[in-house]
Amino acid sequence: MADAERIPGFATLSIHAGAKPDPTTGARATPIYQTTSFVFDDVDHAASLFGLQAFGNIYTRIGNPTCAVLEERVAALEGGTAGLAIASGHAAQVVVMHALMMPGDEFIASKKLYGGSINQFNHSYKNFGWNVVWADPDDISTFEKAVTPKTKAIFIESLANPGGIVTDIEAIATVARKAGVPLIVDNTLATPYLCKPIDYGADIVVHSLTKFLGGHGNSIGGMIVDAGTFNWSRDRKYPMLCEPRPEYSGMVLHETFGNFAFAIACRVLGLRDLGPALSPFNAFLILTGIETLSLRMQRHCDNALAVAEWLSQRPEVAWVSYPGLANDKYSALARKYVPKGSGAVFTFGLKGGYDAGVKLVSNVKLFSHLANIGDTRSLIIHPASTTHRQLSDAQKVQAGAGPDVVRLSIGLEDRNDIVADLEQALTA
């Protein structure tokens, strides 16, 4: 194979995709372009940028060179055609739905999702007139039954937060294709190192860059990746992409931009007007994190499996939900979708119930008790006493946050130290 045809490996892309030495200074690291706006060459150049006849920098709310490197890198890692950096994972979801939905439209979502997404879909989206219909990823027929003429998308997570659940992406992609709607996959917990949803039929991938891609608990960010696989003009369901845009002299985005039209629509119609721009400084920190993604994710997975196996043997523990365990109900799906490892986040139940959960998080020393995942540090939370405390016991159980549940995000420390901390906390 000639060098020009060679496809770089994952670790190489993690370091080099989208980046090159700064042409002015020769800086090897991507500079932080901490500026609000950019000078035009002349009046014609400015007009072409504003009319989408040329690509370039106008204003950091719409695009920034530091963010552009991040966008290209994550798109390359996911196997997509284009990316768009956003201020947070939640904001990325809003911008995606803004491009797809009109008031009164519906989308189908997996019941097994991050609690913040469940809250966003159930409540905040109602203000836009966007309606969620819930389906069970353990029963694919529930997705088929939920499809109506108002359905505009299906939303799932590859690895679901927090319960160590692997979603059958390919099966749900089949439902989406039959319905003629895009499949959106939140790939935050898996990252493209463990799973590339586009390979299994995803049309749009979203991330909270805050978690494993950034990986160091220091920056909030989100990402949208366009797979370039969906025909936005078919059936005329998506007017933002298939109808003339008055703000761009009647341009039809799908006709003009083809297989990266969705990313363009999210940028020039969503990010431009809704405004959730990512800070160039945060983009820089997240880019630095991505350079070690393959190393970190493998260590996360190896540590998590060791801790899950250890917990499953403890007398204080009633159950462990981690798909890397041979007897886990999702182990077969894990072998298909995440063969290199089942991620770093999982839950387990304590026989002592609520009180035991509160005592455990109070007694840890190495673990940090906080509401985040994907850090280099090991993290712990007892959802029933914190993030889900406003719910009834029945509601907590339905949400996967029953009184006995503890969630771990296993970090990069020596695994013997992680186990030792849990042991002393359980014993105490």
Task: Say what the pLDDT of residue 398 is.
Answer: 67
Token digits for 232? Answer: 């936005």
Q: How far apart are CA 358 and CA 352, in angstroms?
A: 10
**100 CB-near residues (< 8 Å, 6+ apart):** 107, 152, 153, 182, 238, 240
Q: How far apart are CA 155 and CA 204, in angstroms?
A: 9
Each residue's pLDDT tens digit, 97-110: 999 999 999 999 99
Task: Say what the pLDDT of residue 161 is.
Answer: 84
Chain position carrying tokens 């119930």? 353
Pick the closest to residue 68 from 114, 127, 19, 137 (CA basis). 19
Q: How far apart are CA 97 and CA 128, in angstroms?
A: 10
Contact 416, 307 (CB under 8 A): no
Task: Say what the pLDDT of residue 216 is.
Answer: 96
Q: How far apart are CA 229 and CA 342, in angstroms?
A: 27
pTM of this structure: 0.95
Task: Say what the pLDDT of residue 298 is.
Answer: 98
pLDDT averages per 10-residue partition of the chain, 428 residues: 73 96 93 97 95 94 97 98 98 98 97 89 96 96 98 97 89 98 98 98 98 97 98 95 96 97 98 97 98 98 98 97 96 98 96 92 96 95 79 70 91 98 95
Task: Say what the pLDDT of residue 369 is.
Answer: 95
Positive or negative, the Cα torsion across 413, 192, 161, 129?
Answer: positive
Task: Say what the pLDDT of residue 3 is.
Answer: 59
Q: How far apart are CA 348 and CA 30, in angstroms?
A: 41
Task: Say what the pLDDT of residue 153 is.
Answer: 98
Task: Say what the pLDDT of residue 343 is.
Answer: 97
Amino acid occupying residue 327: N
Task: Say what the pLDDT of residue 1 is.
Answer: 39
Contact 170, 178 (CB under 8 A): no
Q: How far is CA 181 from the centre of its chain?
A: 20
Task: Say what the pLDDT of residue 102 is.
Answer: 97
Q: How far is CA 318 from the centre of its chain?
A: 30
Q: Which domains does the chain have, with CATH numbers?
A: 9-289 (3.40.640.10), 295-427 (3.90.1150.10)
The string of DSSP letters for 82-131 reads EEEEES-HHHHHHHHHHHH--TT-EEEEESSS-HHHHHHHHTGGGGGT-E
**382 CB-near residues (< 8 Å, 6+ apart):** 357, 358, 360, 361, 405, 406, 407
